[in-house]
Amino acid sequence: MPITPLHTALAVTRRPNDVLPRRGGSSPAAASEATPPAPASVLETPRAGFFYPRIIYGGGAQLDFLVPADPLISDGVIKGENVSLLGFQETLWVRHEPRLTLAFRIISRTNLIQIREWWREWASKGRQSEVILDRFDTCAGQYEYDVHNRTFTLAHCLYNPFEPRRFTPSRVLYSLQLVFRQGQDESVL
């Protein structure tokens, strides 16, 4: 069967350290360096330089995202403003608060079910989670990784309600956006 552009787009890409099989049998050294089995879907093939987040919650449970995220880091300010009776502007500044938005363009049904369980059992109740932006540590040199990869250790999920969007009627693929803020240590409050 000839290779068409569609087949080329769906081919699993090779990593630089992959060992190619030898012709005429395999040696024990080649067998020990064989590449791991291919993932179930091309969408689940991790690629270097992309953010594959991990959420740690509930005493060590982990939620690993199978597709890359598009992280957006913003620095919000917690403050109160008021205009006095004499017309003066009063501002009470409390602190800077980093915020994280994880946008996923394509999420499979399997991963979406896992995310929903985490959201219903943990995040929707206001409990804190730890968010690691790149669990494979392949994004060095990018601002988000260098500054914020492990910043969100006490993250509160602000995404309420849980609303994944199905963006194509012919396939079971969804898009999702999660918003977090770095919380305070609840044991000291």
Please determine, for residue 109, whether its predicted confidence score (pLDDT) is greater than 80. yes
Residue type, 81: E
Average pLDDT, the chain: 77
Please determine, for residue 131, whether its predicted confidence score (pLDDT) is greater than 90. yes
Domain-located, residue 38: no
pLDDT at 186: 63
CA distance 93 to 129: 26
| pLDDT digits 0-9 by tens, 13-42 | 344 444 444 444 444 444 444 444 445 555
- Structural tokens at position 12: 């699993």
pLDDT band (50, 70, 90) for residue 130? very high
The domain total for the chain is 1
Domain-located, residue 2: no
pLDDT at 41: 55
Residue ranges making up the domain that contains 106: 53-182
